[in-house]
Chain A
Amino acid sequence: MINALGSPQSLLLLGGTSEIGLALAHKLIADRCRRVVLAGRPSHRLDEAADELRAAGAQVDVVPFDAEDADSHPTVVEKAFVEDIDLAVVAFGVLGDQSEAERSGTHAVKIAATNYVGALSVTVPVSQAMQRQGHGAIVVLSSVAGERPRKANFVYGSSKAGLDAFATGLGDALQGTGVHVLVVRPGFVRTKMTAHLEPAPLSTTPEQVADAIVQGLRRRKETIWVPGAMRFVMSALRHVPRPLFRKLPV
């Protein structure tokens, strides 16, 4: 159960090798989380992550999960929910290659299939299972990139925009069911996925995002920005006229 101060006792991490997800898992285990289900593509890295969480004191189950294989998602969810899941984190996603996505529809669709379609197809059964158990929280990792499409990565941004709209709407739809949805909008996070990129201003780390999620759950927030200042930056950027916005070095 999630306690009065927002601490869960069981966790389903969708995207079992996500750096943000794993940073969060370690923090939750240090608190009082005891059961973790790691859902991800079978890999050495996934097994390693599972072992690290076990060493930290959790009972860990690994469930094979491929975001692009929507048909398998109900089974994945069923396996995770053999016992109550207090918190599910939708942490998978690909950045893709913007210029390739502009040239190849297949690549653009792959980004959307993982980040948007895959997230929907797994989150819907998760939210159903949580409604049946009458409690739980779903954390969806969106991105500031979904707030306003930039020409530098609008394919990725559009997939996050779709996901963000879905998650926000889901949160509204689940009011009164005991299931809480927290939408997280981090700025540039320094991870493996972004290692080849120049860090943007206000960049952040997986640890900082994980801390912000812990705080957000504690306060039962519905949306958080990481770092918090991002919220103001983005609300300013949202109103910049397009001709000007295109020219901004963002």
Chain B
Amino acid sequence: MWQGGPVTTERRLLAGWGSTAPTAADVMSPASLDEVVKAVGDAPARGVLPRGLGRSYGDAAQNAGGLVVDLTGCTRVRRFDVEAGVIDVEAGLSLHTLMRQVLPFGWFVPVTPGTRYVTVGGAIGADIHGKNHHVEGTFAQHVRSIDLLLASGEVRTVTPDDDPDVFWATAGGMGLTGIVLAATIQLLPVETSLMSVDTERAANLDALLDRLATTDDRYRYSVAWIDLLARGARMGRSVITRGDHARLDQLPRRKRVEPFAFSPHPLASMPAGIVPPGLLNKATVAAFNELWYRKAPADKRGQLQSIAAFFHPLDLVDRWNRIYGRPGLVQYQFTVPYGAEDVVRTAVDRLSAAGSPAFLAVLKRFGAGNPGPLSFPSPGWTLALDLPTNMSGLARLLDDLDELVVGAGGRIYLAKDSRLRPELLPAMYPRLDEWRDVRSRLDPAGTFASDLSRRLDL
């Protein structure tokens, strides 16, 4: 039981990675799990919400007027079975630190998103996916058990076998079923810390869709980057990068001495408040995209790359989101089933036509979904792109795309959303009511709340 003095909070403005729609909340930063338990015991009227590293783009990790429990101080490794590759960690540990701790023993995180700076709790709360989704599913599919702090104050150890309803309502439950205090994760064995990467270019969208559809199953990791500013016959021109963890025998002799070397750090940091307005315009982004496309090898096999270069190129510039300046950015990520390639085509076409200064439109293929009623991935295509909020006509354009997505049986990703019309949610997530049932059983008084849950009436 918690014995210390009163838990202190500080009123702070919080926003997601897109820095849009900031709201104020009382934030507490406990250093131990006991303090977290105590905080939920005294929940204020506007509720409580766990927050990790705030890498969700929208308002998922904000709770205006309520209490936000920042878990990034809870980072202990409670148990690590080096033989079996099973690790039990506190939920505030980042995937960055986790990688550093397990790589020397020949293990890797089972799923990593496009940034290492997410917490284990945030990875479960959003049920994140990586470039290996078509092969290995989401992060939660590799979680063996969680310690979940419920609204009642009870801490329950939940496994997907013993308590599937609670486990799968929490995976992708956006922090609204309880606070994940700790998780036991099955790691992935690797022989080295390098990636063996194949790169190729696709001249247009049809070539890209075809290439991915026919060859993706040969790769553990796969993703394509699309130049959204290319028009006409080049619409959808792209760079496909795919690969797997390099085996020891794929390393040059001198690197075999230290096969698990891993010491990534940001090369630069984007300073606050000095980004000239208008830096991101069609011309600068078009120039960047041209460069990015040209610099990619037209066809290269077995290139050795670091984990950071392959998975997390954006992490090289700390706080890169500041390049979007004060108005911030939205990320639009949707998925549509196989057969609905037309929606992908229309989306790329309309966004290119709008001249959206977007770099990093990313396309990949999802494999089978999991039992989580709010889990985002399901078999089909997923397209994700960053857009500056001050682009004219954006609100309308994205509302229209939502309609197409929903019409095709697709959905948008809650961890990235910041603007969806609430009416569309039940159609996008047909098992929403199932999730609501579990949630209201676990938290009848609605103790857990967020800006996202208020906005979308989750």
Return the contact of B419 from the options A7, A177, A220 (Cβ within 8 A).
A7
In this assembly, does A237 line the interface, its C-beta being within 8 Å of a C-beta of chain B?
Answer: no
B330 at the interface (CB under 8 A from A): yes
The reply to whether B451 and A135 contact each other, CB–CB distance below 8 Å, is yes
Q: Is B395 in the interface zone, CB < 8 Å from A? A: yes
CB < 8 Å neighbour of A135 from B23, B330, B390: B23
Q: Is the CB of A134 within 8 A of B46?
A: yes
A5 B389 Cβ-Cβ under 8 A: yes
Q: Is the CB of A134 within 8 A of B24?
A: yes
B165 at the interface (CB under 8 A from A): no
Interface size on B, residues (CB 8 A): 30
For window 152-208 of A, CB contacts with B under 8 Å fall at: 176-178
On whether the beta carbons of B22 and A7 are closer than 8 Å, the reply is no
Q: Which of A3, A32, A84, A178 contacts B418 (CB 8 A)?
A: A3
Interface centre among B18, B63, B65, B419 (most CB of A within 10 A): B65
Judge whether A4 is part of the interface by a CB distance below 8 angstroms. yes
A residues less than 8 Å from B395 (CB atoms): 5, 7, 31, 218
**Contact (Cβ within 8 A) B23 A178:** yes
CB atoms of B59 and A1 under 8 A apart = yes
Q: Is B454 an interface residue (CB 8 A)?
A: yes
Q: Look across to chain B and name the residue whose beta carbon is closest to the beta carbon of A1.
A: B455
Tell me the bound Cα distance from A15 to B25 in angstroms. 30
Which residue of the partner chain A has the closest CB to B19? A4
Complexed CA–CA distance, A176 and B25 (Å) = 11
Q: Which residues of B contact A133 (CB under 8 A)?
A: 46, 64-65
Complex CA gap A62/B13 in Å reads 32
Interface residues on A, range: 20 to 34
Contact B20 A4 (CB under 8 A): yes
Chain A residue contacts of B326, Cβ below 8 A: 220
With both beta carbons as reference points, the residue of chain B lying nearest to A34 in the complex is identified as B422
| CA distance in complex: A220, B13 (Å) | 15
Question: Does B58 interact with chain A (Cβ within 8 Å)?
Answer: yes
- The answer to whether A176 and B330 have CB atoms under 8 Å apart is no
Q: Determine the chain A residues whose CB is within 8 A of the CB of B77 once the complex forms.
A: none
Alpha-carbon distance A134/B454, docked complex (angstroms): 13
- Is A2 an interface residue when CB atoms closer than 8 A count as contact? yes
Q: Known contacts A3-B418, A9-B455, A32-B421: does B64 contact A176 (CB below 8 Å)?
A: no
In the assembled complex, A219 has its CB within 8 A of some CB on chain B: yes
Q: Collect the chain B residues with CB atoms within 8 Å of residue A218's CB.
A: 389-390, 395
Which residues of chain A are near B64, meaning CB under 8 Å?
1, 133-135, 178
B172 within 8 A of A: no
Interface status of A238 (Cβ within 8 A of chain B) = no
Q: B296 within 8 Å of A by Cβ? A: no
**Contact present for B21 and A32 (CB under 8 Å):** no
CB of B66 within 8 Å of the partner chain: yes
Q: Is the CB of B328 closer than 8 A to any CB of chain A?
A: yes
A4 to B16, CA, bound (A): 10
Cα separation A176 to B27 with both chains bound (whole Å): 14
Q: Tell whether A151 is near chain B: CB-to-CB under 8 Å.
A: no
Beyond the given A4-B389, A178-B13, could you list 9 further A-B residue pairs with CB under 8 A, ordered by the A residue number? A3-B21, A4-B328, A133-B65, A134-B24, A134-B65, A135-B23, A177-B24, A178-B22, A220-B327
Residues on A facing B (Cβ under 8 Å): 1-5, 7, 9, 31-32, 84, 131-135, 176-178, 218-220
Q: Which residues of B contact A (CB under 8 A)?
A: 13, 18, 20-25, 46, 58-59, 63-66, 326-328, 330, 389-390, 394-395, 418-419, 421-422, 451, 454-455
Q: List, sorted by A's number, 12 A–B pairs whose CB atoms are closer than 8 Å.
A: A4-B59, A4-B328, A5-B20, A5-B330, A5-B389, A5-B395, A7-B395, A135-B64, A178-B13, A178-B22, A178-B23, A218-B395
